């Protein structure tokens, strides 16, 4: 792995965590998102889902936003990196939408084995994908061994991509996605969600990705969600949601 000054990383991440928007999200907005999420689950008749937004799991800003995206934008192709509470939303959505399909990658074999039988569907591909080294310019990162080149060669395009894996690192966290993302999104109808984007490592990767998008003159909108955690969204104009 590339070496970066640990002290600088910690300082930047701590500053981000104690920014006014993060504090407001943690102590005020998260409760609103939680209430809105529960109400929307009932409204959509998904209230039977056992979803627990706590600890390292998806928080309420992400869950509420994702639930709205699924019902308001109705993506036909979704990709989730790292599985957990949000996977339950994706699976229910796929079950109820015959034209939709999803791919979910998980690098933790124990976790994968523990929950894989909860996600059995012809249109829902839940796959164990151990990590391997990937080189992005001079940066050595751990990334999924899944063959993304097959997706590119098949011309498959995703409308919705949630990046919550693999486990984050100090700098350029989850950087492997930048090698493939431009080629696997539907350029006219896409939404990319980075979880944990207040961390310096995720900030690095988002900046790197936007540099690629700008170089290729891809039109996008960037906006952030603040709850107990921060999410950064990058979307085509018609996949932007006010929240």
pLDDT by residue, tens only, the chain of 243 residues = 444 455 555 566 556 666 777 776 777 899 999 999 999 999 999 999 989 886 567 999 999 999 999 999 999 999 999 999 999 999 999 999 999 999 999 999 999 999 999 999 999 999 999 999 999 999 999 999 999 999 999 999 999 999 999 999 999 999 999 999 999 999 999 999 999 999 999 999 999 999 999 999 999 999 999 999 999 999 999 999 887
- 109 in Cβ contact with 131 (< 8 Å): no
Q: Which residues contact residue 223 at a Cβ distance below 8 angstroms, ignoring those fewer than 6 apart?
A: 232, 233, 235, 240
- Taking each helix axis from N to C end, the angle separating 85-96 and 60-73, rounded to the nearest 10 degrees, works out to 10
Q: What is the side-by-side strand order in the sheet with 124-128?
A: 124-128, 101-106, 77-81, 160-163, 191-194, 230-235, 221-226
pTM of the model: 0.91
Could you tell me the domains of the chain? Answer: 6-239 (3.40.50.150)
How do beta strands 160-163 and 191-194 pair?
A: parallel
* Helix (H), strand (E), coil (C) string for 154-199: HCCCECEEEECCCCCCCCCCCHHHHHCHHHHECCCCCEEEECCCCC
pLDDT for res 126 = 98
Q: Is 242 helix (H, G, I), strand (E, B) or coil?
A: coil
Residue 176 has phi, psi (to 5 degrees) of -55, -25
pLDDT for res 2 = 42
How do beta strands 221-226 and 191-194 pair?
A: unpaired
pLDDT for res 3 = 47
Q: How far lies 176's CA from each of 59, 61, 170, 222, 228, in Å? A: 24, 25, 14, 20, 26
pLDDT for res 204 = 97
pLDDT digits (tens, 9 = 90+) for 35-69: 999 999 999 999 999 898 865 679 999 999 999 99
pLDDT for res 10 = 59
């Amino acid at each position: 792995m590339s070496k970066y000054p640990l002290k600088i990383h910690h300082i930047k991440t701590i500053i981000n965590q104690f920014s006014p928007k993060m504090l407001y999200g943690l102590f005020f907005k998260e409760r609103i998102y939680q209430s809105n999420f529960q109400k929307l689950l009932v409204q959509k008749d998904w209230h039977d889902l056992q979803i627990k937004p706590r600890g390292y799991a998806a928080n309420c800003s992400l869950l509420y936003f994702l639930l709205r995206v699924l019902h308001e934008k109705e993506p036909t192709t979704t990709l989730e990196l790292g599985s957990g509470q949000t996977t339950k939303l994706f699976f229910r959505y796929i079950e109820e939408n015959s034209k939709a399909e999803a791919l979910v990658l998980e690098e933790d074999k124990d976790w994968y084995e523990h929950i894989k039988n909860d996600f059995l569907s012809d249109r829902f591909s839940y796959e164990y994908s151990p990590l391997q080294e990937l080189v992005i310019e001079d940066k050595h990162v751990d990334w999924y061994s899944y063959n993304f080149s097959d997706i590119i060669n098949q011309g498959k395009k995703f409308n919705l991509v949630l990046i919550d894996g693999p486990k984050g690192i100090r700098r350029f966290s989850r950087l492997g996605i930048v090698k493939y993302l431009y080629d696997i999104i539907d350029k006219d109808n896409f939404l990319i969600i980075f979880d944990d984007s207040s961390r310096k490592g995720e900030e690095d990767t988002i900046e790197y990705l936007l540099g690629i998008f700008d170089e290729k003159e891809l039109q996008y909108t960037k906006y952030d969600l603040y709850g107990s955690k921060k999410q950064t969204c990058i979307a085509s104009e018609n996949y932007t949601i006010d929240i």
